[in-house]
A and B are shown apart, each in its own frame.
Chain A
Amino acid sequence: MSTYSLSEVAASDEPSRTRVVAEKLRGALPAVAGSLAWAAFGASCLAREDVGDWSRTQEVAIAAFAIAALILVGAAGGEYLGRAGTALRKRAPWLIALGLLLSLWELATAKFAWLPLPFFPPPQAIVEVYTDDLPKLLDSVWASIKLQLGGYVIGATLGFVTGVSIGWSTRIGYWVHPVLRFIGPLPATAWLPFAFFTFPSSWSASTFLIALATGFPVTVLTWSGVASVPSSYYDVARTLGAKPSFLVLKVAIPAALPHVFVGLFMGLGASFAVLVVAEMIGVKAGLGWYLQWAQGWAAYSNMYAALFVMSLLCSGAITLLFRVRDHLLVWQKGVVKW
């Protein structure tokens, strides 16, 4: 390239075009680096012989190169891809970090065994679980979802109804409040022995425990939500001709909803813990049982695979709950985004 004097640069529009191109290249740089990081992961898979016997090493390498290529295409065509392009750019630092981490993991386990085997399996071993043990894993996922959903819905519904009742009626509160205070703070898992000999099946016992773990926070927060509704709301509604049923359904409950969702969120967290414990101890299905089984057979890659799926499910459930909340509480300003 020939050199320009400053005045020439200012006069022609050629250099400004190169500047635009340079700008574009700089914007695409992180994504290109991300692509390289994933390519490095692929290369690390093929770099030398595995120290153990894993059947999916090649496939993992191919997948890593394919992802690297995809990222590269995305980086090059960033502007033509619209929202997908901008999303890629926003997440480019994460792509770099993930690529490097996977490379390191690959080298530290499959290639040099810096981490003790079999407790720390390489990525291809976990991929192998997903490809070869999928039916069993899916069965477990489905069993967990069924159990969790049933218990959670029962617990949340009962908790909500109880919370509204004691928040609204002092007479119901008189009877329910002491019971709630006495039994509520007990961890639901403490009921485990009781539940497993009282209920006809381990499934119903677990449903009971999950409902219990969900119900307590939902009850308390619904109750506090209903109790903290300003009396002026009731005054307004009453002077406009509202009957008691209207006051409960159209004033107390909507006003208490933000609290109710905090309770539902806390109940969800508590019920996950109970679900896993119940599956590990009593129920012969589900991800908790799968974890226990994998650990028993020293199938550590299966354990990690199940843990990963479990975290996806829990996170997904909370995301779903927050979506519902955001939809119902659009009127609130400044809510936390999950």
Chain B
Amino acid sequence: MVAQAIAEPIVYPAIGAAIDIEHVSHAFDIGDTELQVLDDVSLKVRPGEFVVLLGPSGCGKSTLLRLIAGLEPPRAGVLRENDIRIKGPHPSRVVVFQDPTLFPWRSVWNNVALGLEAQGILKTQRHRVDAALDLVGLTDFRNAYPHQLSGGMAQRVALARALVNDPKVLVLDEPLGKLDSLTRIAMQAELVALWQRKGVTTLLVTHDVEEALVLANRIIVLSDRPARIMADIAVARPYPRHRGDPYLADLRRQILGLLGLDVTW
């Protein structure tokens, strides 16, 4: 375990929900063999926290997010949202995937409206769609179709589509992974601003150490497959963070060490 203890509790706006992950293990059947991807993972996420799950690619961190989203049940263990067992997907826990996965046959506005429409409340709540589009700065593109958008714009639409539901937990699966580095830095700042404004519990998966350091209250370092929690690191630094901050540089060295990459430093 790394030296940093869990940071002193910060008071967050009470919109976010708590997530409890208790002794969760999971595996996939590939042909006749069983591939173990999660090995006894336990984690408590406090309401309003920004937790980054960091690990080598293919270690099973995206699988953990799918379990939190309720898209699959775990093979062992229990997941809870505010002490209620997670049994399936629910719009209080919304996922943003690595690919924006916008529906190409819907305009930007209609893509963002998807959640409200699925829940049958769009008719009375149309203003929320407008507000979400405004939040990500894409009001002018409301009638555009997905193929007319750039990668960064498409991912912002995906973000708006998630936020329009006023989720209690935002689950982000490498949402910035496919963006160019400049757009990526800009979007990281936007994510932090959104999270600070909304107070949503946010779980983000990445394999980018830098990104984790800029965004997280807490970094959970996962091992190679099957994923176990190797370290739970608090990042007690105010936002916006400076990328050259020596405190962050020190943390970065520690984390790379945990991932077995300290030689490259």
Q: B41-68, CB under 8 A of A: which get 1 and which 0?
A: 0000000000000000000000000000
Task: Tell me whether B103 and A332 are in contact (CB under 8 A).
Answer: no
The stretch among B13-21, B92-100, B123-131, B204-212 that forms the contact with chain A is: B92-100
- A72 close to B (CB within 8 Å): no
- Rounded to whole angstroms, the CA-CA distance of A232 and B69 in the bound complex is 13
Residue among A241, A246, A250, A251 with the highest chain B CB neighbour number at 10 A? A241
Near B by CB (< 8 A), chain A positions 232-288 give: 232-233, 235-243, 246, 250-251, 254-255, 257
Choose from B71, B99, B104, B147 the contact partner of A238 (Cβ within 8 Å). B71
Min C-beta distance of B97 to chain A, whole Å: 6
Task: Tell me whether B95 and A246 are in contact (CB under 8 A).
Answer: no
Min C-beta distance of A226 to chain B, whole Å: 14
B103 neighbours in A (Cβ, 8 Å): 233, 251, 254-255
Task: Tell me whether A238 and B89 are in contact (CB under 8 A).
Answer: yes
- B145 close to A (CB within 8 Å): yes
B265 neighbours in A (Cβ, 8 Å): none
Task: Tell me whether A240 and B94 are in contact (CB under 8 A).
Answer: yes
- A329 close to B (CB within 8 Å): yes
Task: Tell me whether A241 and B118 are in contact (CB under 8 A).
Answer: yes
B71 neighbours in A (Cβ, 8 Å): 235, 238-239
- A175 close to B (CB within 8 Å): no
A240 neighbours in B (Cβ, 8 Å): 91, 94, 114-115, 118-119, 161, 165
Task: Tell me whether B91 and A237 are in contact (CB under 8 A).
Answer: no
Task: Tell me whether B115 and A232 are in contact (CB under 8 A).
Answer: no
Min C-beta distance of B146 to chain A, whole Å: 8
Given contacts A240-B115, A333-B147, contact A255 B105 (CB under 8 A): yes
A194 neighbours in B (Cβ, 8 Å): none
Min C-beta distance of A135 to chain B, whole Å: 46
A257 neighbours in B (Cβ, 8 Å): 105
Given contacts A235-B71, A237-B114, A237-B118, contact A332 B91 (CB under 8 A): no
- A297 close to B (CB within 8 Å): no
- Rounded to whole angstroms, the CA-CA distance of A235 and B103 in the bound complex is 12
Given contacts A232-B99, A233-B101, contact A239 B93 (CB under 8 A): yes
Task: Tell me whether A241 and B105 are in contact (CB under 8 A).
Answer: no
- Rounded to whole angstroms, the CA-CA distance of A257 and B70 in the bound complex is 29
B94 neighbours in A (Cβ, 8 Å): 239-240
Q: A321-338, CB under 8 A of B: which get 1 and which 0?
A: 000000001111100000
Task: Tell me whether A331 and B165 are in contact (CB under 8 A).
Answer: no
A242 neighbours in B (Cβ, 8 Å): 118
Task: Tell me whether B89 and A241 are in contact (CB under 8 A).
Answer: yes
- B117 close to A (CB within 8 Å): yes
Given contacts A250-B117, A254-B105, A255-B105, contact A239 B69 (CB under 8 A): yes
Report the nearest A residue to B99, measured CB to CB.
A232
Residue among A235, A238, A239, A329 with the highest chain B CB neighbour number at 10 A? A239
Min C-beta distance of B98 to chain A, whole Å: 10
Task: Tell me whether A239 and B95 are in contact (CB under 8 A).
Answer: yes
Given contacts A254-B105, A257-B105, A331-B106, contact A236 B95 (CB under 8 A): yes
Task: Tell me whether B105 and A243 are in contact (CB under 8 A).
Answer: no
- B90 close to A (CB within 8 Å): yes
Task: Tell me whether B145 and A243 are in contact (CB under 8 A).
Answer: no
Near A by CB (< 8 A), chain B positions 68-114 give: 69-71, 88-91, 93-95, 97, 99, 101, 103-107, 114
Given contacts A232-B101, A236-B97, A331-B147, contact A241 B106 (CB under 8 A): no
Query: What 10 pairs between A and B have smallest CB-CB spacing?
Result: A240-B115, A241-B91, A242-B118, A238-B89, A241-B119, A239-B89, A331-B105, A239-B95, A254-B105, A331-B145
User: Which residue numbers of A lie inside 8 Å of B, CB to CB?
Assistant: 230, 232-233, 235-243, 246, 250-251, 254-255, 257, 329-333
User: Which residue numbers of B lie inside 8 Å of A, CB to CB?
Assistant: 69-71, 88-91, 93-95, 97, 99, 101, 103-107, 114-115, 117-119, 145-147, 161, 165, 171
Known: A230-B101, A240-B115. 10 other contacts (CB 8 A): A235-B97, A235-B101, A239-B70, A240-B118, A240-B119, A241-B89, A254-B103, A255-B103, A331-B104, A331-B105
